[in-house]
Amino acid sequence: MEDKKFARIIGYARVSTSRQANNGYNLDEQCKRIDQYVELFFDKGKYSLEIYRDAGASAKNLDRREMSKIMKMAKNKKFDILVIHNLDRLTRKVVDLGRLLTLFQENDIKLISIQERFDMNTTHGKLIANVLSSVAEWELETIRTRTQRAIIEAAEEGKYPKPRAPFGYRRDPEDNSHLIIREDQAEIVRHAFQIMIDGSMTEFEYALKLKQEKALGRKWCDKLLYKMIRNKIYYGTLELYGKDYPDCAPVIISKSDFAKANAMRSKSRTTVRHNYIYKNVARCSKCGSYLTLTCTTNSRGQVFLYYKCPTCNKSINQNLITEQVEPLFSDKLQEVKYKKDMVKIQQQYHLAKSQIKRLSYAYVKYCLDEETVSELVLAAEMNKGRLETDMQKLKRDVQTVNFMDLSRSERIDFYREYVDNISINFKSKDAKIHWKK
């Protein structure tokens, strides 16, 4: 039996795959063995036991939900003994095992492995633990190397060995190791490369367009398009471990278009950006397309910014839009700021008024000390007067709020919260704001 003092024991069980359930490593079996061990070697009533379970968690590192909890508890000395079924349930890496042993030693925690039948707090136990962990790590690395070799061999045979088909493709139902083109997605891929070649949109602008159109019912972001533009699979080449393997997928775009799109993308990212105020917000009232950005420069170097409909091939100067929408944006901004700040001040003002009433009532009903009540009432009155001044000042200050004074990030936040789009009629040159409901 273990020593007589009360022991705070925790157990830890882990499986990384469902297949381990057939090899004696399933969670229930591990927990049962831990429970039996503690019941056998510790006196009843002299210990507490709580078992933590990590299901579907690999031992290649310590970044697991329940293991993270245990490490945090160890740092705070929340338990005395950790019991595991066998060593590789804990970790497969020597460096991680050393980290755990150091943590447990620093906090006087005893580590017990049932299957290996040793106490890892002893010198002999540490030696065996390091040997077993080295073997487990070697086994994991061997599996990883074999898997990598199998993936490379498949790529060399023109197969697609990755688990998920890339956007634009699907698995061939007649041969799951090969890809076939999915036309509805491939059309978006072709368009994405074309707009990069044309320079008509950035990834962000095209992602926003797809998102607002709810294209294919997917969630769109510029990171997805960024990865798409850089993926060689669209001209049939699979990149694996720093090497290219051709003919692993049907061609959606040519290799030359891939090179052009990536060259234009690199060039556009080094170009100085102009202050397009209505970027990703302005759209054509006729066809609904989001407007692309363009500019001209006169002989004196003065730059003129334009918004162009890629479908109707019509343009409008940014200044014409600003003349129409800026006053309305400023009014909306003043209204929003006034309401938001005024609500806070009014809440404090009503609280001060209520406090004065309560003090007057308490003075009459409970015969409180007149001097004390007078001081409290005076303080509340002064606070009320200050809040009245703040309300008047806010009414004056809000009149000076101007949309054009906002930074780019503040304007973007304003659009996201309040503006659905700005509809541009190229025939009449009218700009109409559509507010979010």
Give the model confidence (pLDDT) of 343-393 as tens digits.
788 788 888 787 777 767 666 655 556 666 677 777 778 888 888 888 788
Q: Measuring CA to CA, how many Å separate 130 from each of 57, 70, 127, 195?
A: 22, 21, 5, 56
pLDDT tops 50 at residue 306: yes
SS3 assignment, position 311: coil
> Does an H or E element contain 304, and which?
strand 303-308
- Position 242 in a domain: yes
Cβ(318)–Cβ(276) below 8 Å: yes
Residue 227: CATH number of its domain: 3.90.1750.20
Query: Nearest to residue 152, comparing CAs of 233, 240, 234?
Result: 240
| Per-residue pLDDT at 366 | 56
Percent of the residues in the chain that have a pLDDT greater than 70, as a whole number: 85
What are the structure tokens assigned to 195, written together? 């707009």
DSSP character string of 213-260 = HTGGG----HHHHHHHHH-GGGGT-EEETTEEE-SSS--SS-HHHHHH
Q: What is the pLDDT of residue 180?
A: 95
- Nearest Cα to Cα of residue 98 among 126, 128, 59: 126
**Domain endpoint, select from 142, 160, 191:** 142
Both 228 and 324 in one domain: the answer is no
Range of the domain at 355: 319-435
Residue 398 placed within a domain: yes
Same domain, 33 and 123: yes
The amino acid occupying position 68 is S
- In a shared domain, residues 124 and 179: no
Q: Which residues contact 96 (CB under 8 A, 6 or more apart)?
A: 61, 62
- Local confidence band at 40 (pLDDT 50, 70, 90 cut-offs): confident
Instruction: Looking at the structure, tell me whether residues 323 and 410 fall in a common domain.
Output: yes
- The separation between CA 358 and the C-alpha centre of its own chain, rounded to angstroms, equals 49
Give the pLDDT band (50/70/90) at residue 121.
Answer: low
Task: CATH number of the domain at 111, please.
Answer: 3.40.50.1390
Clarify whether residues 116 and 32 are in a common domain. Answer: yes
Residue in 230, 259, 235 with CA at minimum distance from that of residue 245: 235
pLDDT average, residue stretch 288-314: 85
Q: Is the pLDDT of residue 1 over 50?
A: no
Residue 62 lies in a domain: yes
Q: Residue 195: how many CA atoms within 13 Å on its side-chain side?
A: 23
* 107-116, 188-197, 280-289, 396-405: the lowest-pLDDT one: 396-405
Does some domain include residue 277?
no
Same domain, 133 and 18: yes
For tokens 């019941």, name the residue.
39
Cα–Cα distance measured from residue 377 to residue 385, given in angstroms and rounded to the nearest whole number: 12
- Tell me the per-residue pLDDT of 166-206, one tens digit each, with 9 for 90 and over: 999 999 999 999 999 999 999 999 999 998 888 777 777 78
Q: pTM of this prediction?
A: 0.43
Residues 248 and 173 reside in one and the same domain:
yes
How far apart are the C-alpha atoms of 270 and 124, rounded to whole Å? 61
Q: Is residue 161 part of a domain?
A: no
Residues 11 and 137 in one domain: yes
Percent of the chain with pLDDT over 90: 31
Residue 234 dihedral angles phi and psi, to the nearest 5°: -70, -15
Across 76-80, 82-86, 118-122, least confident range: 118-122
pLDDT at 4: 53
| Number of structural domains the chain divides into | 3
Mean pLDDT of all residues in 302-314: 88
Q: Which two tokens stand for residue 143?
A: 């599996």
Q: Has residue 29 been placed in a domain? A: yes
Q: Could you tell me if 21 and 137 lie in one domain? A: yes
More confident residue, 214 or 139: 214
Q: Specify the pLDDT at position 320.
A: 92
For residue range 225-256, what is the model confidence (pLDDT) as tens digits? Answer: 888 999 999 999 999 988 999 999 999 999 99
In a domain, 293, yes or no: no
Joined together, the tokens standing for residue 280 give 């990703």
Q: Which helix (H) or strand (E) holds 12?
A: strand 7-15
Task: For strands 243-245 and 238-240, give the pairing.
Answer: antiparallel
Higher pLDDT, 207 or 151: 151
Q: For the chain, give the number of residues.
A: 437
**What is the pLDDT at residue 272?**
41
Alpha-carbon distance of 151 to 159, in angstroms, equals 9
pLDDT of residue 256: 92
210-221: b (≥16 Cβ within 10 Å) or e = beeeeeeeeebe
Classify residue 252: in a domain, yes or no: yes
Token pair in block for residue 394: 């806010």
Position of tokens 């088909």? 165
- Mean pLDDT value of segment 261-287: 74
Same domain, yes or no: 220 and 114: no
Average pLDDT, the chain: 82
Asked which of 213, 237, 271 is the last residue of a domain, the reply is 271
pLDDT at residue 313 tops 60: yes
**Rounded-to-integer distance, Cα 201 and Cα 309, Å:** 12
Q: Find out whether 54 and 37 touch, Cβ atoms under 8 Å.
A: no
Looking at the structure, tell me whether residues 120 and 190 fall in a common domain. Answer: no
Query: Same domain, yes or no, for 135 and 178?
Result: no
